[in-house]
Structure 1
Amino acid sequence: MLLAIDTSAGTAVAAVAADGAVLARRATADTRRHAEIIGPFLQEVLAEAEAVSRPDADPLTGVVTGIGPGPFTGLRVGIAAARAVAIARGVPLLPVPSHDAVALELTEGGIAAGRFCVVTDARRREVAVTEYAAALPTPTVVVPARLALRIGFAPDEGVALYEVTEIPAAALAHVAAARLAAGASFPEPQPLYLRAPDVTMPTAPKRVTS
């Protein structure tokens, strides 16, 4: 069983069995209460998943964390929660770019094909954009072409645009499962902020006069 957590947009948590079945999930598009919501969501999803599965058949084998792109505050809540559960349960932490979950869901659902973009709100009147290349009718792999932070984004002609307010945690787990099955590597568990921090360290100490 994989537990997936994403807080790059709203807050989403899901438990997915080894066969891909979704055992439990919780999600909200609220972007202001990640810290308040993540704890109850984790407790409810784990309890529900363990109630409907046999521990010997579906033990927790990994914790998937969405690494963005997304705003600083939201991302660090989800990644920190995923790290904590992985350490507590003694299982691997599996980082996955959050947009990959949306891309997989779009291609497997037959909605997107060829080149398309996944777009999420980056605040400050900007959006985070990942461009993908996908081939149907066997959409098992989606390849990110480029990642950018754009203002007033308009897609290139012929490129479909899909803007979402929530990242599907179950699809995030499916991306991780596909990577594991293919023996593919995972990125470092570093958040994709895209934007430079507002606060910077001073370059030189201030002069002090008496």
Structure 2
Amino acid sequence: MATGALAGESSPPGRTRTVLVIDTATDTVVTGIGRITTTDGAPECRVSATRVVADGRRHAEILTSLIAEVLEESGVGRDGIDAVVVGTGPGPFTGLRVGMATGAGFGDALDIPVFGVCSLDAIAHDVGRVSAPGATVLALTDARRREVYWALYRDGGHTRTRGPEVSAPGVVAEVLSDSGVDAVGGSAAHLRQSGWGGDDPAITVPSVAGLLGAAAIAVTGGQSVPPLLPLYLRRPDAVERKDQQHKKVGAS
């Protein structure tokens, strides 16, 4: 992955960075163009264009076209992108790697940095924007196999205190009863299965605004760019099936 000219350079006041944002950690493909401006030492984010398509089987087919659409809508050429922000999951192996490979490819081709963001952090960041200040937030998505991906946050979704983890809904139910959760984000159906009894979440998937906000300090802070690593939390389904078959053969 390219580190590019931004790595190690903090943003001077008034400097605006144009960012390509991608997330394929859920069944929804999310991409867009955002801009981060450093004002009075704090990054301010705004979204110029966004696409959100719920189609879990066609991530690889539609992502490139959606990126072309947001670039055109925002009036940004590829050489006008200063950085890439990509959701790193947790998420299913096949879908997640589409977004991460695409983000890394843009970084390499354009010699710009690629910043990974936990997709649950992006959801929590969005939830915090529409919740009471200082809220305790739970972000949760479908992990399949009757499990969920989840993480717990304080400070209105800005500080992760537990997770990300993959667990049965019953584990999350215990967390909900013990942690005084004020607000939630993610899959409404799986939150219900996990014992959430409040209103359905307003934020259900990572958004361009949430991803951009969660990455803003890293993008503008001038620190070295860490490696882009996926949060699978468990092995791919195909590998597990192969292992199970091996165990059955060995037992006979």
- Indicate the TM-score class for this superposition, using the shorter chain for normalisation: 0.7 to 0.9
1:120 corresponds to 2:159: no
Letter in 2 for 1:88: A
Tell whether the 8 Å contact from 1:96 to 1:186 is kept in structure 2 after alignment.
no
1:150 aligned onto 2:150: no
TM-score, normalization by structure 1: 0.81
Residue of structure 1 in register with 2:92 after alignment: 71
- Secondary structure of 1:180's counterpart equals helix
Unaligned runs of 5+ in 2: 1-17, 38-44, 188-203, 247-252
**Structure 1 gaps, min length 5:** 204-210
Asked if 1:22 corresponds to 2:47, the answer is yes
Matches within 5 A, 1:63-142: 63-110=84-131, 113-135=134-156, 141-142=158-159
Q: In the alignment, is the contact (CA less than 8 A) between 1:29 and 1:166 conserved in 2?
A: no
Write the mapping of 1:168-183 to structure 2, written as runs, cut at 5 A: 168-183=207-222
- Matched residues in 2 for 1:182 and 1:114: separation? 26
Q: What residue identity is the alignment partner of 1:35?
A: A
Paired with 1:144 and 1:26, the residues of 2 have a C-alpha distance of 30
Q: Tell me, what secondary structure is at the counterpart of 2:75?
A: helix
TM-score for both structures, normalised by structure 2: 0.69
Match of 1:162 among 175, 180, 185: 185
Letter of the 1:22 counterpart = V
> How far has the Cα of 1:183 moved from its partner?
4.9
Deviations 1:7-42 (A, max 9, x none): 001100010123322111101122111011101111
- Per the TM alignment, residue 144 of structure 1 is displaced from its structure 2 partner at its CA by 4.1
1:166 Cα deviation after fit: 2.1
Please provide the CA RMSD for this pair.
2.6
Give the paired residue count: 195
Q: Is the 8 A contact 1:96 1:187 kept in 2?
A: no
Shift of 1:186: 5.6
The 5 Å alignment of 1:38-57 reads 38-50=63-75
Match of 1:208 in 2: none
Bigger mean CA offset, 11-20 vs 71-80: 11-20
Distance of 1:90 and 1:184 partners within structure 2 = 17
Displacement of 1:184? 5.9
User: 1:3 aligned to 20, 27, 35, which one?
Assistant: 20
